[in-house]
């Protein structure tokens, strides 16, 4: 892929996609000096302030340490970095305090110390530096489904997984005559750009990545009939400042994954439905991956659950001994309608080899078609395909 500055990576693809050969477009215009449209710019310090924003201000660090001496010393290095990508953009004081089971009086004292800090113009500007504001110039090639792939990471970046997911999406696009544009610039989220695409894929996106106006444009796109596909980390922040994204578009809040072991083989069960999502996918599938857990089952909010993991096949103990069990109905892939639009989310995909698995590729391909409104409402009878599909079987008939 070709990097353009620090914020933009654009790939133009025709019916046969050669993403590694994509070329750089024109140099982007300089970013505006004053970004005032970013989330949390004016937000007072509190327990929900991203840890990254706490760490950028020595006064905030001192305030937390006064209330809870040693708070930062016990954190892993990845939670201490203030330059994206960093896990510190995906955590806050409230989440860490809960994970560490800190006494409530101590947590409340942290809150009081933080609330007493005034915001400075320097801090406001620093909070906005991780957002792009100059829309890229793009061209969208013809294709049966036109896809914008967004892969910005302000929090944790799944380097190996994202390389594997990029290859998977490239292969699926070539096999199915899809057109793909890939970018890591949040400034691509304008109504003028989004309306050119049938589906927007968030490929392991992490942290808060869109300004307020970019959020508005994306929400309007989805609710007017656009498609969304989220892969793994796109639903894996421990907290979200954008409530519509986590509560409506994804449909539930991630709370953690097992740590001992982190990667293990689990038994996945596929639920057939009156749509194309389970087409040509076996009823039971064994896959080795990281297993996300969520605060609530999105089925309860009306989501169509496509895949669940059998908890008897995996560990359900998370960091600091957290209980991550969700019981007999532990969803890992689901879909939901959002106003006139469609949202498909897969929690699978931490392990790079998952993206090469023919079953997973079929599931994602079905999800893209469904999100684009490009699959039949009533599928054929459940397929009797074997457990493993041949790679050549993935092309759309």
Asked whether residue 237 falls in the same domain as residue 378, the answer is yes
pLDDT at 283 over 90: yes
pLDDT at 4 over 80: no
Q: What are phi and psi of 343, to 5 degrees?
A: -125, 130
pLDDT at 158 over 60: yes
Looking at residue 36, what is its pLDDT?
79
352 and 163 in contact (C-beta within 8 Å)? Answer: yes
Among residues 76, 100, 118, the one where a domain terminates is: 118
Residue 11 placed within a domain: no
Asked whether residue 160 falls in the same domain as residue 243, the answer is yes
- Mean pLDDT along residues 157-164: 95
User: Following CA atoms 97, 99, 100, 103 in sequence, which dihedral angle do they give, to the nearest 10 degrees?
Assistant: 50
Asked whether residue 197 falls in the same domain as residue 63, the answer is no
Going from the C-alpha of 108 to that of each of 17, 49, 95, 97, 104, the distances in angstroms are 54, 14, 13, 10, 6
DSSP 116: T
Residue 324 placed within a domain: yes
Asked whether residue 311 falls in the same domain as residue 375, the answer is yes
DSSP 219: H
Residue 162 placed within a domain: yes
Asked whether residue 206 falls in the same domain as residue 277, the answer is yes
What average pLDDT does the structure give for the chain? Answer: 87
Cα Rg of the chain, angstroms: 21
Residue 280 placed within a domain: yes
CATH number at residue 379: 3.40.50.880
Asked whether residue 151 falls in the same domain as residue 295, the answer is yes
Residue 135 placed within a domain: no
Residue pLDDT, tens place only, 172-209: 999 999 999 999 999 999 999 999 999 999 999 999 99
Looking at residue 74, what is its pLDDT?
80
pLDDT at 31 over 50: no
Asked whether residue 185 falls in the same domain as residue 61, the answer is no
Residue pLDDT, tens place only, 377-395: 533 333 333 333 333 333 3
Looking at residue 287, what is its pLDDT?
98
Under the banding of pLDDT at 50, 70 and 90, the label for residue 8 is very low
pLDDT at 13 over 60: no
Asked whether residue 110 falls in the same domain as residue 173, the answer is no
pLDDT at 116 over 80: yes
In angstroms, the CA 245 to CA 21 distance is 33
Under the banding of pLDDT at 50, 70 and 90, the label for residue 376 is low
Among residues 100, 118, 136, the one where a domain terminates is: 118
Looking at residue 35, what is its pLDDT?
67
Residue 197 placed within a domain: yes
Asked whether residue 228 falls in the same domain as residue 322, the answer is yes
Tally of domains within the chain: 2
Asked whether residue 111 falls in the same domain as residue 179, the answer is no
Looking at residue 320, what is its pLDDT?
83
Looking at residue 176, what is its pLDDT?
96
Asked whether residue 82 falls in the same domain as residue 153, the answer is no
Report percent pLDDT > 70 for the chain. Answer: 86
Looking at residue 375, what is its pLDDT?
81
**Boundaries of domain holding 228:** 146-394
Cβ burial 206-230 (10 Å sphere, 16+ → b, else e): bbbbbbeebbebbbebbeeebbbbb
pLDDT at 220 over 70: yes
Residue 356's nearest CA partner among 305, 394, 316 is: 394
Asked whether residue 79 falls in the same domain as residue 204, the answer is no
Helices 104-115 and 58-67, axial angle in degrees (round to 10): 150
Residue 356 placed within a domain: yes
Residue 10 placed within a domain: no
Residue pLDDT, tens place only, 223-242: 999 999 999 999 999 999 99
């Amino acid at each position: 892929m070709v990097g353009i500055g620090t914020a933009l990576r654009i790939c133009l693809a025709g019916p046969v996609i050669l993403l590694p050969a994509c070329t750089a477009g024109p140099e982007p215009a300089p970013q505006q000096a004053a970004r005032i449209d970013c989330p949390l710019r004016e937000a007072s310090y509190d327990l929900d302030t991203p840890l990254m924003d706490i760490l950028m201000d020595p006064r905030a660090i001192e305030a937390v340490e006064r209330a809870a001496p040693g708070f930062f010393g016990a954190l892993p290095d990845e939670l201490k970095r203030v330059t994206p990508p960093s896990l510190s953009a995906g955590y806050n004081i409230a989440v860490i305090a809960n994970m560490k089971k800190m006494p409530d009086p101590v947590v409340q004292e942290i809150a009081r110390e933080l609330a007493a800090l005034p915001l400075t113009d320097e801090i406001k500007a620093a909070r906005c530096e991780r957002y792009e504001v100059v829309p890229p110039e793009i061209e969208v090639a013809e294709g049966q489904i036109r896809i914008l792939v967004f892969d910005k990471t302000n929090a944790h970046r799944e380097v190996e997984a994202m390389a594997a997911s990029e290859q998977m999406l490239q292969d699926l696009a070539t096999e199915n005559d899809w057109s793909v544009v890939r970018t890591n610039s949040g400034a691509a989220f304008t109504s003028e750009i989004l309306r050119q695409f049938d589906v927007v894929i968030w490929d392991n996106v992490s942290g808060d990545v869109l300004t307020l106006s970019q959020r508005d444009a994306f929400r309007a796109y989805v609710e007017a009939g656009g498609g969304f596909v989220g892969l793994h980390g796109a639903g894996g922040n421990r907290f979200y400042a954008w409530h519509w994204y986590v509560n409506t578009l994804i449909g539930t809040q991630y709370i953690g994954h097992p740590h001992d072991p982190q990667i293990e083989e689990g038994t996945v069960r596929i639920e057939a439905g009156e749509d194309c999502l389970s087409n040509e996918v076996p009823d039971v599938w064994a896959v080795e991956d990281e297993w996300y857990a969520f605060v609530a089952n999105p089925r309860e909010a009306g989501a169509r659950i496509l895949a669940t993991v059998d908890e008897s096949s995996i560990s359900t103990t998370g960091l600091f001994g957290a209980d991550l069990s969700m019981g007999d109905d532990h969803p890992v892939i689901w879909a939901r309608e959002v106003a006139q639009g469609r949202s498909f989310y897969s929690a699978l995909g931490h392990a790079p080899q998952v993206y090469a698995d023919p079953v997973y590729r079929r599931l994602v391909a079905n999800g893209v078609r469904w999100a684009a409104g490009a699959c039949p409402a009533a599928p054929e009878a459940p397929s009797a395909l074997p457990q493993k599909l041949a790679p050549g079987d993935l092309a759309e008939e």
